[in-house]
Structure 1
Amino acid sequence: MTSTVSAYKEKMKEMSVLSLICSCFTAQPHPNSIYQYGADMEVKPINKRLSGQSFEVILKAPADLSPDRPQPLASPPKKKDVSLDELQKRLEAAEDRRKSQEAQVLRQLAEKREHEREVLHKALEENNNFSKMAEEKLNHKMEVNKENREAHLNALKQRLREKERHAAEVRRNKELQVELSG
């Protein structure tokens, strides 16, 4: 931390006072103006605030500046050569992972099918039970209706017999009246 603070102080000393003063008088910062002071510091203007101009000072860590370490814009590090055995091991490991995933997917599918079969079996059972119950209710209603019709027919026959007896009695009474009057 102290090395960062000291590096900042040194850079501030190197920065020209004139550029600081001029930036205070400029109403709008120049678009895309990023000032670089060496390879280890950048100054970016930020949107103007009520209190005045504001800047963002970006300091790079001393470790980033070491000559051993590649710069960020440098080409990516080259991959080391991989041996044929190493490639074969990687391929086998990838194949094992693929087979394991495939087996897991197949297990899940089998479990799903079994569950679907159970649900279908249960639905068929419930449908059969409902059909049997509906058939029994229908048969019961038909029997009750048949009994009601028979009872109604019997009642009608009984009334007809009574009317016939009454009619026969009325005819006899008329015949008796005709014989007595005549």
Structure 2
Amino acid sequence: MTNPRKPIFDALRIALGGKLGADDVTIMDNTLDRLGVPKETILQLSATGEALIKKWEGYKKDLGDGRVQSYPDPATGGAPWTIGNGLTGPDIVKGTIWTHAKAAQRFTQHIEDEAAPAVRKGIGTAATTQAQFDAMVSLAYNIGVGAFLSSTLLKKHVAGDYAAAASQFAVWNKAGGKVKQGLIDRRADEAKLYRGQA
């Protein structure tokens, strides 16, 4: 979550010589309430973030008739079986066929129920731009939420060391124990977005 009021309070603090009393905070909060400025904003994946994920998790095995079929994991040549935009799960096995609509619904569900909440949980109250959030959701979507939540990248982000966090994307360049050019390129795209350069 981000606090859209923080920059306002920071500016007021500077204007008042570095201090805000409890009465000042109450007056400002009441004023901002009347103006409709939210106290916190829950970050969601933006269209830019979704486009980045879909760029790298493109439809494979599109049957051309509004359906997609499962395919073996590109890194292992087998399990986990994958479908649509890189979706995996116990109900996705060899021969699974879904409509485009079902694949799109499951993509959105995976983002909203797993990847985005994991990133929000991990960053806590750390200052986070939309671009940083999108890049981290893309990473979590690809490497899994458990790996993301225990990552050095997340620790560096929470500590406010954004340069070090950005450099950590490149660490996640292996699949099946082997460096993959596709992952090198994807991580470069994610780091670029994280830095606000996309």
Which band: TM-score by shorter chain?
Answer: under 0.3
More strand by share: 1
Q: TM-score, normalised by structure 1?
A: 0.16
More helix by share: 1
Q: TM-score, normalised by structure 2?
A: 0.15
By relative contact order (CA 8 Å, sep 6+), the higher-ranking structure is: 2
Larger radius of gyration: 1
